Amino acid sequence: MLLAGVCFIVPAAAVTLVFAWMCVRYGALPQAQALLYGIKPVIIAVVAQALWGLIRTAVKDKFLAALTLAAACASVLGVNELLVLVGAGILAILARESARRDAGRLAAVALPVGLSVPVAGAALGGAVLFGSGYVLLAFLQATLVDRWHWLSQSQLLDAVAAGQMTPGPVFTTATFIGYLLGGLPGAALATIRIFLPSFAFVAVSGAMIPRLRRSPAAGAFLDGVNAASLALMFVVTLMLARSPITDRTTGVLAATSALLLIRYRVSSAWLVLGGGLIGLRSTVDFLPLRFFALPAK
């Protein structure tokens, strides 16, 4: 398991690390800024596509739809993300007739375990994220941007773009952020801390999985947590979109990318490349690029 995990993570983390180094060294250049101007709206569309696909599979009934809406409202009002996830899971248990006998027992276990997860940086994200790696964005926005002010929203979106453009899991976003905050040691530590909880969970959960699969309470809890995680993704996507979508060009680029991803299933790699080329039109006098670019207001 360890060897497979290392082979899966290290190549993607290494490529992300190179992106981080290039961003730190060359990010202030006009050409780099132009590239990111075109790429960031596409990344917002990629996240929106992931969210749309998850909503279609995870929101199975009216109750889960209402729970998703309630979790989104709680997030907007500033309720802690971990409390939103655990609370949604407990509410889902209580709402399921077949799980009522187990509700008190599972709630008593789930709440203290969830609240005991460390709230520092990548360890928190790695310990509580499931359903989609994009839920990581909600924790990064709440902790590193809003609470601790270690990153700007633009830097967070740079990290998301790097994680999306590289092969492998989106969790390598943590590698980029670690390098920005602490150089090579920071990148290594952030990468280890974001993935270590997942390895630990897989190692200790083997005997638990068959029992969890047979438990209506556990199924209801996970349904509720998945619904809440989608709500967190939705809220943070709206927050992140305010930074790159600033004019007509970026708005059209994001909307067009979302349409191509969701309706026609165009590869995100081609859209990222196209977005970068359109962004470069601001510094490169190249007629085909000017043809596809819209004038900004």
Coil, strand or helix at 38: helix
Contact 234, 51 (CB under 8 A): yes
Q: Within a domain: residue 225?
A: yes
Q: DSSP assignment of 169-220, as one string?
A: -GGGHHHHHHHHHHHHHHHHHHHHHHHHHHHHHHHHHTTTHHHHHH-HHHHH
Q: Is residue 143 part of a domain?
A: yes
Rounded CA separation 88/225 (Å): 6
Half-sphere exposure for 199 (CA within 13 Å, toward CB): 15
> Between these two residues, 110 and 58, which has the higher pLDDT value?
58
Region 231-257 average pLDDT = 94
Q: Does some domain include residue 206?
A: yes
The residue segments making up the domain with residue 95 are 57-246
CB atoms inside a 10 Å sphere around CB 184: 12
Report the first-to-last Cα separation within the chain, whole angstroms. Answer: 53
What is the predicted pLDDT for the residue at 295?
54
Residue 213 lies in a domain: yes
**What percent of the chain has a predicted confidence (pLDDT) above 90?**
52
pLDDT in the model for residue 132: 57
Classify residue 7: in a domain, yes or no. Answer: no
What pLDDT score does 36 carry?
92
Take residue 3 and report the two structure tokens written for it: 């060897």
- Residue range 74-103, pLDDT digits in tens: 999 999 888 999 999 999 999 985 545 554
Q: Is 288 domain-assigned? A: no
The answer, yes or no, to whether residue 224 has pLDDT greater than 50, is yes
Of the candidates 173, 120, 138, the one whose C-alpha atom is nearest the C-alpha of residue 9 is: 173
Considering the chain, what is the average pLDDT of its residues? Answer: 82
In the prediction, which pLDDT does 112 show? 45
Give the pLDDT of residue 165: 80
Domain count, the chain: 1
Q: Does 34 fall in a domain?
A: no
152-180 mean pLDDT: 88
What is the rounded average pLDDT of the residues 120-125? 43
Kindly state whether residue 46 falls inside one of the protein's structural domains. Answer: no
